[in-house]
Structure 1
């Protein structure tokens, strides 16, 4: 995996990740959240802010890192 944010090909359903929320009112101030990927929403291989995903909890955000197991 690259030192930068993970690419779409590096992500899989069920993988534990840390995201920055994109749908929160105060997304700029929100703490990163951890969860398991339910869906990968981005079509592109890479995104400047990170690949957009939906967690199993229903929260969407951009992946900042993969959580070590």
Structure 2
């Protein structure tokens, strides 16, 4: 994994990650959320804001980091 945010290739369905929300009214002020990836939504291999994913909980956001097991 890179020193910055993980790339699309480094992420897999079911992987535990920490995201910054993108689908909440208060997303700018919201704390990062941890959860397991249900879907990888980004088409690009890398994105400056982080790869966009949907968690199993239905929350979408950009991946900040992978959560160590």
- Does TM, normalized by the shorter one, top 0.5? yes
Question: Quick one: distance in 1 between partners of 2:42 and 2:36?
Answer: 16
Q: Over aligned residue pairs, what C-alpha RMSD do you find?
A: 0.4
Aligned structure 1 segments of 4 or more residues deviating by more than 6 angstroms:
none
SS at match of 2:9: helix
What is the alpha-carbon distance in structure 1 between the residues aligned to residue 64 and residue 14 of structure 2? Answer: 16
Structure-1-length-normalised TM-score: 0.98
Q: Which residue of 2 aligns with 1:10?
A: 10
Residue of structure 1 equivalent to 2:48: 48
Q: Distance in 1 between matches of 2:67 and 2:33?
A: 11
Give unpaired runs (5+ residues) of structure 2: none
Q: Provide the rounded CA distance (Å) in 1 between the counterparts of 2:57 and 2:28.
A: 20
